[in-house]
Structure 1
Amino acid sequence: MKLILILLVLGNLHLAAPDAQGDALFDLRSSLKASPDQLADWNQNQVNPCTWSKVSCDANNNVFSVSMSFMGFTGTLSPRIRVLSKLTILSLQGNQITGGIPEDYGNLTSLTMLDLESNRLTGQIPSSLGNLKNLQFLILSQNNLEGPIPDSLSSLPNLTSILLGYNNLSGPVPDRLFQVSKFNFTGNRLNCGFNNTHSCTSGSGDSSKKSKAGILIGVIVGILVLLLLGCFVLFFWRGRHKGYKREVFVDVPGEVDRRIAFGQLKRFSWRELQVATDNFSERNVLGQGGFGKVYKGVLGDNTKIAVKRLTDYESPGGDAAFQREVEMISVAVHRNLLRLIGFCTTPTERLLVYPYMHNLSVAYRLRELKTGEAVLDWATRKRVALGTARGLEYLHEHCNPKIIHRDVKAANVLLDEDFEAVVGDFGLAKLVDVRKTNVTTQVRGTMGHIAPEYLSTGKSSERTDIFGYGIMLLEIVTGQRAIDFSRLEEEDDVLLLDHVKKLEREKRLDAIVDRNLNKKYNMEEVEMMIKVALLCTQGSPEDRPAMSEVVRMLEGEGLAERWEEWQNVEVTRRQEYDRLQRRFDWGEDSIYNQDAIELSGGR
């Protein structure tokens, strides 16, 4: 039985853009001096800000609206939000924001509304706002802005409302701005009213009423057009799907054909996933693990997905409990965690839906490459190690309740299109109450990766994940499996951990490194990764570092101290360990086989 790639998934996740968006918005939060209880769900570790309050995104996870009115901010505007290239609405009305309007806001070329009314802004109106060719509403009233109105605003072709009243502006008003449908320049030292040439405000009375009536009629007509268009699209979609074999793709009794949104999570119908996977055809099987098979699928909009069909998942309380657990897991959004798209439940079925990924898993790239495919170079392996650590750190230390993976290994670390690490198969890892020790009657995991205390007692914690992570680091360095009986032919250790410990004691680090690297690696970095791996795989869970500490060590901080401390006690432990190891027989009649062994049971 071959080593199973549980999730050969993941599609085209464009992480760089959402990450830049999140960083920019978090910088805005800081510069505005938001209090700890304001925007509390804005987590800097989350790759995608689309789940944050006061933020709206389009279908491609591009931020298009940031609306934070009347929240009492007293800080300044951050220029970093210039990276929000799809931002159409920025509304910060009714705060006490100080400082000036950054020139960088002229880069927000998709902006249609800029509302900074009723703040304490100072300085001049940036001439760069003339670059906002899509701008329709410019609202800067009731601030302390000064100087002239930039001539560049006259070139805004779509401007329909400009409200600059009650500032300290001075000088002439560009004539073009008097042609805007709605304007207000009162309460300034502007020249608009001199010699009755122009009024400082747009007309009122009948013309205003007519304008409002026209707008209302336009809105109603627009809604009707959208409804008719929606009906046409639905009719067209149904027409295209008449060719499906109705005798195959049928509703499961008890299934509600609808979608329930948990944030951005979707509930799929059983029929929808039947169609996507060609009725769960064996030709579409990507892998199989302790919880069931994973199928490749294609949705009606040509989105590629991976569907995990669970076979032994038991949820106390049935469907409702499963939905609550899935909802909780869906908020675990991080650049190094596999994104859950949605789920499906019936009285007899539980399915999870993920993106499909073309670069497969780390295990595949280490050991199962096809002819012509390139192996992972050392720089990529370093990024994988650090990215995996950051993903696990988020599960352990930033989720409430914390999430324990229970099967950390190279086969469950996936690679996006940029070969960045994405931790997969944590979708059914149990949500852990920090006040309790989680005890299971059956152990879940893969032999060679399971921490000794979990295997012997059934007690798991985040430290069991850390042990598995340490073994995964050794996989990355050596390219070998956690258990390999071929080493018996060389009278060597079957367990990769013992094999590496032996070579490390003998100072034969060159013999540890994957030969496929062709000696293209940095030996100091190899030694660092091996040391971190050995610290993570200590026999006592209390001695293993937390994942946050692992991240720091991989970044070059604190490793020397922890390694020296470990060396002082390892000699005694090694003697006892060797004595116990001699009691085991790893011959051909061993219960372990050549490949990874999946243990069934509840997590």
Structure 2
Amino acid sequence: MLLSPLPCLLFLLLLPPPTQPTSPPSFIYNIFNSNQSTNLTLTGIADITGNGILHLTNVSSHQIGRGFYPDPIPFKNPATQNAYSFSTAFAFSIVPKYRKLGGHGLAFTVSPTKDFPGAQPSQYLGLLNVTLNGNTSNHLFAVEFDTVQDFELSDINDNHVGVNINRMKSVNSTKTGFFIDGNSTKQDLCLHSGKKIQAWIDYDAVKHQLNVTLSVFSKKPTTPILSLPVDLSPVFQDFMYVGFSSSTGVLTSSHYIFGWSFNMTGNAESLDLDHLPSLLELKKNKKGFEFWSVLMFLIFLVFCIVVIFGAVYVIKRLKRTEVVEDWELDLGPHPYCYKELKEATKGFHEKQLLGFGGSGKVYKGVLADSKTEIAVKRISRKSKQGPKEFLSEVSTIGRLRHRNLVQLLGWSGNKGELLLVYDYMANGSLDKYIYRSNNPKMILNWDQRFKIINDISNGLLYLHEGWEQTVLHRDVKAGNVLLDSDWNGRLGDFGLAKLYDHGSNPITTKVVGTLGYLAPELTRTGKPTTSSDVYAFGALLLEVVCGRRPIELKASPEELILVDWVWDKWREGCLLEVVDSRLKGAVNEAEVMMVLKLGLMCSSDEPLFRPSLRQVIRYLKGVVPLPEILGLLCDGGGKGGFVVKVDDSAPSLGKMKSW
């Protein structure tokens, strides 16, 4: 029996639209045309080289570069609201300014915009900023190829691939590598090696599966390095833009895209790496240009200068040249030239002086090229910090990165001067605001003081447990706590720091530090520990609350030693009397009492009775309460002692003899 054509027609009209666009875009670039209007939309410092390579960023600091396909692409079925599948392949290279240090990486991006207003460089890769990070309204999908480990974003290492959805903290990430077919062992791959690397990103909208594959060869391996079940339908809008974004920070790299293919109806075509443009050709062109420039300059000199005066001039120039040798590059942070830092600080003028200490003076500076504000520490020739300690601080401490530590940006060892370059802290050191004798123009309120305490505790925990080695600061004090423009606390001055492997003991018998912050056992053993840092932190807690130094020479005898005075007031039951009177009682009494008691715990004469920094942070956050005091045992021999009741996570203080 034949069906009537009318019902059949109605049935066909009721069918849902196809799952893919009728004419899905597909393109391939084996070379990029320098005519960007028909080729790519470039923003920031991105450009296309003479031999057809997309150059996203150069080695300038804090810059952004992007290259996007100019037209929007349908990424979602408007009827079903289901995302479409897509596949892309591209070849890229990351070339750091200094071979052992990677800058921030690059990201393949699917976004509703090509402009990214307000986006920041560094860890945000030119895609988001602090305010926008994490908003579901971003509708942002990115696969990052990152060469900096940012602890704030929970990066797994400084050589990883991560999948980011609406935020720069990856929902999934893995150490970079690739597989060779027939071999199940993951091959190591360094993203900032300068090698040409091919990446494939494939999304199956039916299976809700995302795969990321890498290789240094033209053929696509069958095994991806990252496979993630994810439905991108809530992320994608009907039309989106695809492209690449990268940025630089303090550490810089050049980011290159050699070729790119994209397909929404099947697998993207793999690129033949041997037939793509080469950086070697680009370097040859640059060298050729430089050669002819130098040749013309020499000819000009021959005609303009008498030979003998020209020779003298060249000799003088050579004497003033600051050559950066291989061993200097291996130190880590950026080596500055002496002339650059001298100009930045206006010849180390006294008006630029920020402060001074035992190791030297610190000057404010502004770098001429980037207008970046910096702090330059000029090591005194009389300082105990000689070349050995200087190199140690640069090569080790220079690799520390935490939001509550003052970042070491670079150094200079030329002209017989030892100079260290740090982030500029706009509000100076903490001691300027808490000591009554300083007569500060601004008094920090309690909320600001409590936040600074938390900031420094987090920075110290990173030093003790969060880095690849244990770092002992050995000079924790208010003068070494710096405040940025937002009044965040950062621990600085690592000139006395000591490093050793986790689980081992530091080998030293030299007592260093500042009187009033030195743990008693240091004078006996000379060996610093994390517990001796905790002792100094305890002194810092007390001075922040009380607004005075650990040892106040002008005070009455009973108030001379801060920890003794606080202990006496506690024993007398009037502990709140030690609080800085300039706060005028505008404090959170529970927090103040907790900080004072915690300061006394950290200031215990017995190292075993002091909490670790991890325990300190738990107390400060209120995760666990401080040990409950059950009674005071005065023995007439000084400060006596007390018996405490603690939970299992707190340090055992039951055998304490004296505090």
Do both share a fold (TM > 0.5)?
yes
Residues 538 and 349 of structure 1, relative CA distance in 2, 3 Å threshold: same
Q: What pairs up with 1:400-411 in 2 under 5 angstroms? A: 400-411=468-479
The one-letter code of the counterpart of 1:162 is F
**Equivalent residue for 2:579, pick from 513, 516, 526:** 513
**Equivalent residue for 1:53, pick from 147, 156, 159:** 159
Structure 1 residue 51, shift from structure 2 partner: 7.2
Structure 1 residue 411, shift from structure 2 partner: 1.5
Question: Is residue 429 of structure 1 aligned with residue 429 of structure 2?
Answer: no
Q: What pairs up with 1:155-304 in 2 under 5 angstroms? A: 161-164=261-264, 166=266, 216=277, 256-257=323-324, 260-261=328-329, 265-301=333-369, 302-304=371-373
Structure 1 residue 283, shift from structure 2 partner: 3.0
Deviations 1:37-57 (A, max 9, x none): xx9x9977456959711369x
In 2: Cα distance, 1:96 partner to 1:322 partner:
54
Structure 1 residue 400, shift from structure 2 partner: 3.6
Deviations 1:390-411 (A, max 9, x none): 1111111223431111111111
> Number of aligned pairs?
434
In 2: Cα distance, 1:343 partner to 1:446 partner:
25
In 1: Cα distance, 2:603 partner to 2:122 partner:
31
Structure 1 residue 276, shift from structure 2 partner: 2.2
The answer to whether the 8 Å contact 1:389/1:551 transfers is yes
The answer to whether the 8 Å contact 1:67/1:92 transfers is no
Higher strand proportion (structure 1 or 2):
2
Question: Is residue 571 of structure 1 aligned with residue 596 of structure 2?
Answer: no
Residues 216 and 393 of structure 1, relative CA distance in 2, 3 Å threshold: closer
Question: Is residue 135 of structure 1 aligned with residue 201 of structure 2?
Answer: no
In 1: Cα distance, 2:317 partner to 2:472 partner:
37
Residues 398 and 349 of structure 1, relative CA distance in 2, 3 Å threshold: same
The one-letter code of the counterpart of 2:534 is I
In 1: Cα distance, 2:636 partner to 2:122 partner:
47
Question: Is residue 550 of structure 1 aligned with residue 633 of structure 2?
Answer: no
Aligned to 1:135, the other structure's residue is in SS state: strand
The answer to whether the 8 Å contact 2:354/2:363 transfers is yes
Deviations 1:298-319 (A, max 9, x none): 2222222111122356689x56
The corresponding residue for 2:251 is none
The answer to whether the 8 Å contact 1:255/1:346 transfers is yes
TM-score when normalising by structure 1: 0.59
The answer to whether the 8 Å contact 2:366/2:373 transfers is yes
**Equivalent residue for 1:100, pick from 208, 232, 236:** 208
Residues 45 and 161 of structure 1, relative CA distance in 2, 3 Å threshold: closer
Q: What pairs up with 1:442-591 in 2 under 5 angstroms? A: 443-488=511-556, 492-561=558-627, 563-564=628-629, 571=633, 575-578=636-639
Structure 1 residue 457, shift from structure 2 partner: 4.5
Residues 217 and 472 of structure 1, relative CA distance in 2, 3 Å threshold: closer
The one-letter code of the counterpart of 1:556 is G
The corresponding residue for 1:362 is 430
In 1: Cα distance, 2:322 partner to 2:283 partner:
36
Structure 1 residue 253, shift from structure 2 partner: 8.2
Structure 1 residue 226, shift from structure 2 partner: 12
In 2: Cα distance, 1:122 partner to 1:501 partner:
58
Structure 1 residue 263, shift from structure 2 partner: 8.8
The answer to whether the 8 Å contact 2:459/2:490 transfers is yes
Structure 1 residue 484, shift from structure 2 partner: 1.7
Aligned to 2:427, the other structure's residue is in SS state: coil
The one-letter code of the counterpart of 1:508 is C
Residues 528 and 370 of structure 1, relative CA distance in 2, 3 Å threshold: closer
Deviations 1:53-102 (A, max 9, x none): 1369xxxxx99999946379xxxxxxxxxxxxxxxx99565999996369
The answer to whether the 8 Å contact 1:392/1:547 transfers is yes
Deviations 1:438-465 (A, max 9, x none): 4334x32222222222245433222111
Higher helix proportion (structure 1 or 2):
1
Residues 475 and 324 of structure 1, relative CA distance in 2, 3 Å threshold: closer
Aligned to 2:517, the other structure's residue is in SS state: coil
The answer to whether the 8 Å contact 2:454/2:620 transfers is yes
Residues 295 and 51 of structure 1, relative CA distance in 2, 3 Å threshold: farther
TM-score when normalising by structure 2: 0.54
Aligned to 2:551, the other structure's residue is in SS state: coil
In 2: Cα distance, 1:524 partner to 1:135 partner:
53
In 2: Cα distance, 1:125 partner to 1:288 partner:
55
Aligned to 1:473, the other structure's residue is in SS state: helix
The one-letter code of the counterpart of 1:492 is E
Q: What pairs up with 1:371-382 in 2 under 5 angstroms? A: 373-382=441-450
The corresponding residue for 2:86 is none
Aligned to 1:326, the other structure's residue is in SS state: helix
Structure 1 residue 509, shift from structure 2 partner: 2.8
The one-letter code of the counterpart of 1:516 is R
The answer to whether the 8 Å contact 2:538/2:599 transfers is yes
The corresponding residue for 1:306 is 375
Aligned to 1:439, the other structure's residue is in SS state: coil
In 2: Cα distance, 1:218 partner to 1:130 partner:
37
The one-letter code of the counterpart of 1:305 is I
The answer to whether the 8 Å contact 1:254/1:346 transfers is no
In 1: Cα distance, 2:588 partner to 2:221 partner:
53
Structure 1 residues 529-538 or 413-422, which shifts more?
A: 413-422
Residues 429 and 42 of structure 1, relative CA distance in 2, 3 Å threshold: same
In 2: Cα distance, 1:435 partner to 1:284 partner:
42
The answer to whether the 8 Å contact 2:393/2:494 transfers is no
Deviations 1:553-591 (A, max 9, x none): 111133433x54xx66x735x743359xxxxxxxxxxxx
Aligned to 2:378, the other structure's residue is in SS state: strand
**Equivalent residue for 2:403, pick from 335, 347, 358:** 335
The corresponding residue for 1:601 is none
The one-letter code of the counterpart of 1:536 is C
Residues 68 and 457 of structure 1, relative CA distance in 2, 3 Å threshold: closer
In 2: Cα distance, 1:380 partner to 1:161 partner:
52
The answer to whether the 8 Å contact 1:309/1:351 transfers is yes
Deviations 1:504-532 (A, max 9, x none): 11121331111222211111111111111
In 1: Cα distance, 2:603 partner to 2:319 partner:
46
Note the residue ranges of structure 2 that are not aligned, 5 or more in a row: 1-119, 135-145, 163-167, 181-196, 211-219, 246-258, 294-312, 641-659
Aligned to 1:381, the other structure's residue is in SS state: helix
In 1: Cα distance, 2:157 partner to 2:495 partner:
18
The one-letter code of the counterpart of 1:375 is I
Q: Percent identity?
A: 29
Residues 100 and 228 of structure 1, relative CA distance in 2, 3 Å threshold: farther
The one-letter code of the counterpart of 1:282 is E
The one-letter code of the counterpart of 2:633 is V
Aligned to 1:492, the other structure's residue is in SS state: helix
In 2: Cα distance, 1:98 partner to 1:459 partner:
62
The answer to whether the 8 Å contact 2:359/2:384 transfers is no
The corresponding residue for 2:106 is none
The answer to whether the 8 Å contact 1:46/1:335 transfers is yes
**Alignment root-mean-square deviation, CA:** 5.2
Note the residue ranges of structure 1 that are not aligned, 5 or more in a row: 1-12, 25-38, 57-61, 73-88, 103-114, 138-158, 168-182, 185-200, 202-207, 233-245, 580-603
